[in-house]
Amino acid sequence: MNQPTVISTFAGCGGSSLGYKLAGFKELLAVEWDDNAVETFKLNFPDVPVYHGDIAALSGDECLRLAGIHKGELDVFDGSPPCQGFSTAGKRKFDDPRNSLFNEYARLLTELQPRVFVFENVTGMVKGYMKQAYLQVIKTLRECGYKAKGEVMNAMYYNVPQSRERVIIVGVRNDLGIEPSHPKPQTKPMTVRQAFAGITGSGDCPGMSAQYKQYWQEAGPGGSVGKQKSHKRLLWDRPSFVLQKAAGYGGVYHPSEPRPLSTIERKRLGSFPDDFRFTGWNAAIERIGNSVPPNLMLAIATHIREKLLA
């Protein structure tokens, strides 16, 4: 078959985009509003057109024009709308205004009518009373003209050395008569030791204050301390904790040295290649923390290409 196509919304620095690229997809357009995310994306994907702005201002017609296709021709429409209101890291609120970005995703899905869509989000939306939000999301996506199925997938079973659970909803357009499905777990969890193989020194790590060195000491190997247990010390022979975008020095610390992680260490744990470019140490914390791990999306994209688009 011809090279399958994808449009990525809420593209960030390109974690999902890299996964699709590795799976053989051609990205026709990336949509992102954050300035640093767009700068980082362009450093790594110079040939992919970028709509740099508010998705609410992007019409379906303009999206199709920028991508150079007609309605119904796109293979995959991808997106990870920021839904911090669903996150278990904060107070979950069903009516959090940040969750309204999902409606823009659904609007473009209706206007583009791709063969398949992929929707990625935090697991907080399927827990406790927030389950109603998940059910509403599924209902809305089905009303766009799709069969939709969601699963919680952990990146550590897809060649990502990080225990990171995410809700992945896959949809297939009704007229295609194909049931949506997800890839099965593919690998045993990779350890921090395996991920850091060949890395020497502390790289671009800044000095750590006495307070944070105390956090490192108090946490102990594999432990966590501080408000909401947000300061975590890695274990060499386990996968990493979730890499967060904030929480002093990135929230995750080296297993045996009282310091934060270097950018290359963070890239390894996020399944980004060593040559992936970021604009600085702090920027890498936020960009990787907000990203879908490329190897997780590689598994999803490969499954879609082989099972749903074949």
Note the pLDDT tens digit of each residue in 57-105.
999 999 999 999 999 999 999 998 876 555 444 555 555 555 578 889 9
Q: Give the domain 5-188+293-308 fold.
A: Rossmann fold (3.40.50)
12-26 average pLDDT score: 98
State the average pLDDT over residues 276-286: 96
* Residue 28 phi, psi (nearest 5): -90, -25
Whether the per-residue pLDDT at 184 is higher than 60: the answer is: yes
Taking only the tens place, the pLDDT of each residue in 136-178 is: 889 999 999 999 999 999 999 999 999 999 999 999 999 999 9
pLDDT band at residue 1, thresholds of 50, 70 and 90? Answer: low
C-alpha 166/C-alpha 153 separation (Å) is 6
| Residue of 303, 259, 268 lying closest to 288 (CA atoms) | 268
The pLDDT value recorded for residue 228 is 82
Tokens of 116: 């398949």
Report yes or no: 281 and 267 within 8 Å, Cβ to Cβ: no
End-to-end CA distance of the chain: 8
The pLDDT of residue 128 is: 76
Parse the chain into domains and list their residue ranges: 5-188+293-308, 192-289
pTM beyond cutoff 0.85? yes
**pLDDT at 4 > cutoff 80:** yes
Angle between helices 294-303 and 15-22 (to 10 degrees): 40
Q: Cα separation of 213 and 181, whole Å?
A: 45
Active site residues: 83
Measured CA to CA, the distance from residue 54 to residue 275 in angstroms comes to: 29
Burial of 274 (0-12, 13-18, 19+ CB in 10 A): exposed
What is the total residue count of the chain? 310
Q: Confidence class of residue 295 from pLDDT cuts 50, 70 and 90?
A: very high
Dmax (CA) for the chain in angstroms is 61
* Topology of the domain covering 192-289: DNA Methylase; Chain A, domain 2 (3.90.120)
Per-residue pLDDT of 93-113, as tens digits, reads: 555 555 578 889 999 999 999
Mean pLDDT of the chain: 92
Is-contact 154 165, C-beta < 8 A? yes
